[in-house]
Amino acid sequence: MIETVWEGAYAVLRWQMTPVNVLNPESLAAFREALETVLTDARCAGIVITSGRREFIAGADVHTIQRLMGIAEVEELYRVVWQVQEVFLRLETGGKPVVAAIGGAALGGGYELALACHHRIALNAPHVEIGLPEVQLGLMPGAGGTQRLPRKIGFIPALPLILEGRRLPAQEAHAQGLVDELATTSDELLEKAFTWLSKKPLPQNPWQDPKFEPPGGGIYHPRNAPFLAGAIAKAHEKTQGHYPNVLYALSALYEGLQVPFVRGLEIEAMYFVRTLQAPSARAMVRTLFIEKQRLDKLPHRPAGIPPAPIRKVAVLGAGMMGRAIAYVCATAGFDTWVKDQSPDIAQGARTFAEKLLRQRQERGRLSPAEAEATLQRLHIATTYDDLAGADLVIEAVIENRPIKNQVYQDVEPLLAPQAILASNTSTLPITSLAQATARPERFIGLHFFSPAERMPLVEVILGEKTSEQTLAWALDFVRQIGKTPIVVRDSRGFFTSRVFGTYVREGLRMLLEGVPPALIENLGRQSGMPVGPLALADEVSIALMYQILRQTEADMGRPLPDDPVHHIGRLFVEELKRPGRKGGSGFYEYPANGQPKYLWPDLKKYFPPRAVAPAEYPDLMDRFLYVQVAEAWRTWQEGILFGQADGDVASILGWGFAPYTGGVFHFAEYVGWERFRRRSAELAEKYGERFYVPV
């Protein structure tokens, strides 16, 4: 687990765990023992901590966090948390110079261990990430991160790294002072470590000096005080009272930097204990850590089917979604071809990829050679013949059934015998689309989310005749491109679009009711959603929503006047020519000079606002969340989902449903079942049956 190798007078402690280096009671005990052995060895003139795996140390594992959250007694929980601090303090104050040779990801507790060392050298490679991302799981640094990092790089630079959980590539981490040196190869990494030790450095960190002042001054230094006030305001604005872990981390920073270092560690441990006991932390760890890891292991993949032999991928349509999907495929190593009816739009897929690759190079996340190799894999097709032999085709054209049917008929005869034909449709039933193909058993839905180059979820939709092999290979593909898949059964809107759409539609209903647009947006965010429903409608595209509704009405053979998109979509798309952000205007104005967007002032002419008393605010906020939860439960009862936890992961990763609740199904447990049922019934009675939850 912890291998000790001697290089002359230097001890190398190499973490070597299977399947991944993590902090848990067993590894911590092994590290403590190995550390104590070399610290007390008279021949030891210095210590190198490194890894024998691709990662350095990935932080605490799932079982450790679960165990901590299962400790009810505060005193016992504090004692267990402090054990980690004790080991890192022993490393830091043991009288031997210690250098961290970071050859892979050093995240959370892994980077906190590196911070306790006296020197840090990182391999300058794209797979190396460094940071303290705990807040993204509802937690906070609990092994010295809030105390050592600001003492190393300064209070102001440390704030966003801790409060936003940023992960930095090695090059950027070095530029910001998180590591002290960079190495270009693994051999050089160790060579530099030994070189540093050979200089016989003092075995202590600067903050162990009683007279130490953090870089940039203390908390109340004139240059820091305004930033502190701004950080407090920003934290409250961002959390909306839903994420106590962010405020606890800020409190640990603020209080800990005003006292001696060890006392600061004790303050951090106290706030970490509080964080572990917060309902939001439990909910987020369950969904974003435990359940996401489960889905990443493909639990719904049919057994006994060999891995997918996908090499050549074709993307039909090079619009906003198509070009992003093509980029994702090319970066994952697939030979990727893009076809669009417009040659200029098709060529735009390559321009899009070049821009993103350039940005990654500038941040040190990609080498020039890797960027060029990606571009070499991305091809622009001029005819369908260029797609011959493709193993996977992903259709990403407009939500229009006749157009989709035509492209299927054009491309299908050219495909490899066992090729998969997939649609990126967000709403049209897969079974009905498969009817236009000669091999419905090889047809499946692969629903990406915008922006596809960043969003981590893919919804895999089964048609009635989709074969097990097609499902297995589709899941293999999703894993290969680095996304998390959920598998759902077929229906109109599937799971994600059907549930997510209720949030936007509730905002549109409020607009029709006369609720002021700014209030709609602000209360949407205050409920815990990442953006307001009107802004989201602009991002998704009002025109696309209207197109989907019109196709749905055509499929059903009747108009749907109760859907707010029926009226608002016609108004904005056909009359006002304001289709959304992509078209330059929608509910918001998008200044050409790069200034921030703002709500279209003329909205009041079409939707006269009424006075809304503050007493109505709780209802408006609850409507945003409860309408989504109610629809999610209906999809569950209809058998669309394979598991409720799948829906929780999808709701957060797919459209950002109030992460602090743990997702659309865990929401009831978060608020309490009795309160949840009572509130659902109240909303259904006041605003309609769409709030009725069938549980």
Active site residues: 60, 109, 112, 134
Pair 168, 216: CB distance under 8 Å? no
Strands 129-131 and 167-169: antiparallel
Buried-exposed string 512-530: b where 16+ CB fall within 10 A, e elsewhere = eeebbbebbbbbbbbbbbe
In the numeric block, which tokens belong to residue 679?
Answer: 């509130």
Which tokens sit at 439? Answer: 């091999």
Label the pairing between strands 312-316 and 392-395.
parallel
**Which residues lie below 8 Å from residue 384, measured CB to CB, with a gap of 6+?**
339, 410, 411, 414
Distance spanning both ends of the chain, measured CA to CA: 48
Do residues 440 and 405 touch, judged by C-beta distance below 8 A? Answer: no
Enumerate residues 6+ apart whose C-beta is below 8 A from 594: none
SS3 313: strand
Distance CA 348, CA 220 (A): 51
* φ, ψ (nearest 5 deg) of residue 4: -105, 125
Considering only CA atoms, which of 135, 128, 215, 203 is closest in space to residue 168?
Answer: 128
Phi-psi region of 326 (alpha: psi -120 to 50; beta: other; left: phi over 0): alpha
- Which amino acid does the sequence have at 253? L
Tell the residue number behind the tokens 């701004």, with chain if given: 230
Q: Is 192 left (phi over 0), alpha (psi -120 to 50) or beta?
A: alpha
Q: What are phi and psi of 275, to 5 degrees?
A: -60, -45
Q: Are 491 and 588 in contact (CB under 8 A)?
A: no
Residues 250 and 163 sit within 8 Å (Cβ to Cβ): yes
Residues 545, 539, 348, 315, CA torsion sign: negative
Residue with tokens 């007279």: 211
Classify residue 304 as left (phi > 0), alpha (psi -120 to 50) or beta: left
CA dihedral 229→232→237→242, nearest 10 degrees, is -170
The type of residue at 689 is E
Q: Which two tokens stand for residue 311?
A: 């090499």
Q: Which two tokens stand for residue 437?
A: 């193909």
Three-class DSSP category at 392: strand
Beta partners for 312? 335
Let me know: does 542 contact 578? Beta carbons within 8 Å: yes
**Which secondary-structure segment (H or E) carries 81?**
helix 74-93
- Asked if 524 and 507 count as a contact pair (C-beta separation under 8 A), the reply is yes
CA–CA dist 519, 610 (Å, integer): 11
Residue with tokens 């940005």: 359
